Every structure is written in structure tokens, then in C-alpha cells.
Amino acid sequence: MTARPPLARWLESLAAADQRPSLVTIIGDSITAGANASGGGRRGGVGRRPSHRYADLLARALNAELAPPRPDRALAWTGGGWFEVERRTQQLRFGWDRASGHPESCGLGGHGCRLGAGDEVAHRALCDGVDLYFTASAEGTPLEVLIDGEPVVMLPTAGPRLRSGRRWASSALPLAWHDVRVRGTDAKATARLDGGYFHRGTRSRGVLVHVGGHNGWSTLDAVRHRATFDHLAENPPDLVVWATGTNDYATGPDELEASLADAMERVARTCPRADRAMVFPYALPGRTAWDRFREAAVRVASTTGTALVDLHAHLGGAPPTPESGFLSPDGLHPGDVGHAVIADAILAVIRPFPT
């Protein structure tokens, strides 16, 4: 794979984001999904309060600087993101990823659900537009979308092969509280709804963030998951942030290097116009061979023309201490302080202007 100067195209897109939308897609594990970040609600910062996960902080920071709020172009975050799944035999809740700022992030299937006849997801949000993402397959059955009680569309989830990341966007809605429902239609089969977001503000400019955070995943898991690359192909980003996490320590330095090289090659092949950044995680107390993991990531970043966000170096080259407040009480995932540090480290690499 031919290396190129990291982030040149992304910086061009970022500079023009006040006139047209720019898309960032983050792929990672539970930390990316928002584990232990406060606000928003359960499952990846989805809820009615501002989320403190690093993806949300990243989206807010980028949009606050590129497009200050104006009366004619509202950029406020929506303040909502729950879809309640109502089944005939049980009630379940699935979080739908979103990022605060202008517009919102969406999940890549990590918080999706399957809907058959009698199944319905519903959410009431202050918004002026809705985007839904779904998976098409040969066995797919239509999903009915209703807005404010009126049928709007039947999502075509049937296709010649399995394909995630398909998108449907509503027409512009009056900025108001809208009731959005998605219903399964088939008693014998189900269709998968992958994710979605509610807009409050124009879709025509600003930085959008798509979040693909899956609990327990390593880089190898993400590479093996076809929906990862389906979504990139269906929704070509300007920047892909591949966020390695502490789950990668269970593999080994050589395995990590091979997986990261494979990931960067597949990202480049799937969306050749996207720039790439790689996040190398923080150290954990008691882990061995730390330098070998880091050296593996540095080699892959160098040989593939990928910008490197080195959290280990950002934290002074040592594991975070309990006194720093970086880690949450579980001693593994970052808390609010940690998510803020991660966002700052990424911003220091991917944007050309100071905080």
C-alpha cells in the first residue's frame, strides 16, 4: 500500500465543513462506545443529558470551532436517543449512538436490533430530521417507518447479499417534537435496524461522527466483522479513526501488528479517499511487553501513512494512576476525565488549530 502524507485530505474537508458536511468514522471497542462515560444514559452515551464519551466531546469541539451557532442555523445537540423496543412478550431497550454537537453520530450495528411482526422501536425527539441505518440481506423483510403516526416509508431490507450500513434519510421536518417509530412486518423473519440519529440543525454542513464501538472487541474482531467495512463503503468518510484498545493486549504484539496492517489496508481499499488515524491505547498497570505493542503500532502507522494518536505518550509514558482520575472505579475503562483526555489527544492530531 502506498503511503501518503497523513490527513491532507481530511484537513481540506475540515476546512470546508462550514459549507458542506464532513464525516468521521471511529471504529473501536467499548471505550469508543462510551463505557463508563457519564451523561446521556446507558449504552454509549445515549440519552437526554450531554454525554461525556470521547466521540461526543470530539464532535462538539470540532463543530463549535468550525460553525458557531447562529439563529438561522441551529447546531444544538438533540438531547435524546432512546428507542424503546416493545415486544409482545417482553420490553427491551436498545441504545442508539449519538454525538452531541451538530449533527449526531450513529452506531454501526453494535446497538442494533432485529424486528419482526409485533416488534416496534419508538422514540420522541426534538428534531428536524431522522436518518436510519439498516442491514439488507436475501432474507430481509421490510421495516415500516412512521413519523407522528403517519406511515412514511417501508425500508427495503431485502437485497442480493448481506450488506450493512444502508441509509435512509427523512425529508426535512419542522423543528418540533416528533414521534418516530420503526415496525417489523413479517411474522416468520426479522430485519435488522443498525442505528440512527436525530438531527437538530441542518444536514448540509458540519462534522458528523459515526461511532462503531463494540464491547469486548479487539482489532482482529473489527477486521473480521464485515459490517465494519460495509458501513465504510456505504457511507464513505473523510477520516477513519481506528481506535485500538486494551482488548488488544490479549493477542500479543505480533498479532496486533498483523491485525492493524490488515485493518489499514482494508480501510484504504474500501474508502480510498479517506484519511486514517490510529489511536494507540493507554497502558494498564502490571501489563508486560508494553513497548513491543507500541512499537508494532508505530511501524504500521509509518508504513501505511496513518496518523498516530499515542495515548501512552500523551499520558507521559506511564500507566494512568488512580489519583489522576483517568480511570473509572473499575480500573480498566476511562471515566469522564479519561474520555476528555482521549478527545484532547485525538484533537491535537487531527485539527490544525489550538484548543
Angle between helices 253-270 and 226-234 (to 10 degrees): 30
Look at 43-57, 179-193, 272-286 and tell me which has the smallest mean pLDDT. 43-57
pLDDT tens, position by position, 150-173: 999 999 888 777 777 788 989 989
Boundaries of every domain in the chain: 8-38+48-67+205-350, 82-100+109-199
Reported CATH class of domain 8-38+48-67+205-350: alpha beta
Q: Are strands 275-280 and 307-310 parallel, antiparallel or unpaired?
A: parallel
Between CA 159 and CA 308 the distance in angstroms is 38
270 secondary structure, DSSP code: H
The CATH superfamily label for domain 82-100+109-199 reads Galactose-binding domain-like (2.60.120.260)
Q: If you average pLDDT over residues 41-66, what whole number do you get?
A: 65
Q: What is the pTM of this model?
A: 0.81
Q: What are the cell numbers at 95?
A: 441504545
Predicted confidence (pLDDT) at residue 344 exceeds the cutoff of 90: yes
